[in-house]
Structure 1
């Protein structure tokens, strides 16, 4: 069905409540399948690959285009409070709605969406395993685009406590903020400076390498083969191996801030650590003048 106002359901008294299992920041595919028709639940797909939503999505899911819906179209910034609020109102979100995000690439950009939502005070859930896991379980997909009755949701003002800025990481690199740890979640070749970005990606920097003092933790190490997050104990152990134990504030970064949102989610929502995401990431820092860079590969200029 294309309209999911559920007035008929409410009229016969079959009102839903959100089960306690959704109190955590992750929901299982089983939980989501049981709550697809729950009027207190709204689902959003935030995928990387263009057209994947149109080919089939979780029934009732609204599409979010990360490169237009979650960013400012004029400034390099996250979506404004007003634009995000309008999107959520049109999707029928109320203050008591449980919002679930999922996407392809092990929830790569779904985690970015969760971070942006969190900036504006909306605590959302991720479908553990994302689209990959849902499809692997042969769970239903739908090509129909849902419509909802608009709400008057009001978002909070942006919370800057979970967002790192350029000067914040410069201070860490210059040892002016010795109590903060940096986690670079890019691939080892990006971290070492052997390459500036993965093959095929257009967002580049003039310089290669990493921010001095940053620890490397490739983002995909946080998930299992099926795309679901590793257990809390396994995540805690994996981060502790690189000296990240939650005893100090943490800043995560990548190339444009999306992969680092995935690690921000693991560290914040699963482990409970104090973490900021630096969405300027390497395309800002690696193009800046007068800041230190650690380049283990020794590359200086990769242009012609």
Structure 2
């Protein structure tokens, strides 16, 4: 069937308008995404803590990225290489003009990690679905069980931007000379104080408990509302200001392996506009490193109760 030019031009205008609306914010709403599931300029990627939830039901058309195989180099303990990630994104239909929307379970823990990795490689127009799977499912929005299919994309990744990433030596230097950098530990108060080494049941551990000297504790969960969406910007700004993080100096976020801290990185960088780097080595690297200082108010010692 051949459509009149005015219909084809109108459809193109709608797609461009939708993309422009999404471009204005680092977040998209469930309503916006539902209305744009058929938009050829929008691609949806799921990145969940539990990759198996994708098979049990996902946003229609979404592709699945497995965080611990697709987004990392499993040999070098690093983020995925530029070539590897570029191939995955092209296979998922991501092109240069695509609005890429990421979402996942656990209030977008690993979706935010995916957004950070894509930002490191300079992928434009990457968004988070505000509220993630939790809000989408709570609103009874459609789910599919068949994998999303898309024509191959043409996105080209840039060289890794190290300005978005903190390294061990930088964090250790900041720990020894506090004041020049604001360090935000986004783990639970028990992890921060050294009372616990890690959340219950997780395999990645450090032989020391505690936190980086000078770090302030702002648990990632304090940034989200009951429905999983980010709290209003003014409220986020106030939460950080209460512990002295106001954007006047560079910020480093960290957690245990870098995933929860990506969520806080997103809030600080994308929503508040602060100069922020994510330390993806996080406590599993820092706490296991010989010769770097820690603070351990609880006095917990490995192997002792």
Query: What TM-score, normalized by structure 2, do the two folds share?
Result: 0.94
Question: 1:143 matched to which residue of 2?
Answer: 145
Question: 2:181 matched to which residue of 1?
Answer: 180
Superposition deviation, residue 303 in structure 1: 6.0
For residues 301 and 236 of structure 1, the distance between their equivalents in structure 2, rounded to whole angstroms, comes to: 36
Deviations 1:46-86 (A, max 9, x none): 00113100000000100010000000021100000000000
Question: 2:16 matched to which residue of 1?
Answer: 17
Q: Structure 1 regions of 5+ residues with no counterpart?
A: 1-6
* Closer/same/farther in 2, CA of residues 9 and 29 from structure 1, 3 Å limit: farther
Question: 1:3 matched to which residue of 2?
Answer: none
Q: Structure 2 regions of 5+ residues with no counterpart?
A: none
* Closer/same/farther in 2, CA of residues 18 and 101 from structure 1, 3 Å limit: farther
For residues 55 and 151 of structure 1, the distance between their equivalents in structure 2, rounded to whole angstroms, comes to: 26
Three-state SS of the structure 2 residue aligned to 1:42 is strand
Deviations 1:107-150 (A, max 9, x none): 01000000000000013100000000000000000011122221
Question: 1:128 matched to which residue of 2?
Answer: 130
For residues 132 and 216 of structure 1, the distance between their equivalents in structure 2, rounded to whole angstroms, comes to: 25
For residues 54 and 153 of structure 2, the distance between their equivalents in structure 1, rounded to whole angstroms, comes to: 24
* Closer/same/farther in 2, CA of residues 8 and 255 from structure 1, 3 Å limit: farther
Aligned partner of 2:166 among 161, 164, 167: 164
Question: 1:266 matched to which residue of 2?
Answer: 267
* Closer/same/farther in 2, CA of residues 148 and 242 from structure 1, 3 Å limit: same
After superposition, residues 19-58 of structure 1 pair within 5 angstroms as 19=18, 20-23=20-23, 24-58=25-59
Three-state SS of the structure 1 residue aligned to 2:72 is coil
For residues 301 and 152 of structure 1, the distance between their equivalents in structure 2, rounded to whole angstroms, comes to: 49
Superposition deviation, residue 167 in structure 1: 0.4
For residues 186 and 249 of structure 2, the distance between their equivalents in structure 1, rounded to whole angstroms, comes to: 18
Q: How many residues align?
A: 297
After superposition, residues 26-105 of structure 1 pair within 5 angstroms as 26-105=27-106
Superposition deviation, residue 94 in structure 1: 1.1
Is the CA contact 2:103–2:128 (under 8 Å) kept in the aligned structure 1?
yes
Is the CA contact 2:44–2:102 (under 8 Å) kept in the aligned structure 1?
yes
Superposition deviation, residue 18 in structure 1: 4.5
* Closer/same/farther in 2, CA of residues 91 and 50 from structure 1, 3 Å limit: closer
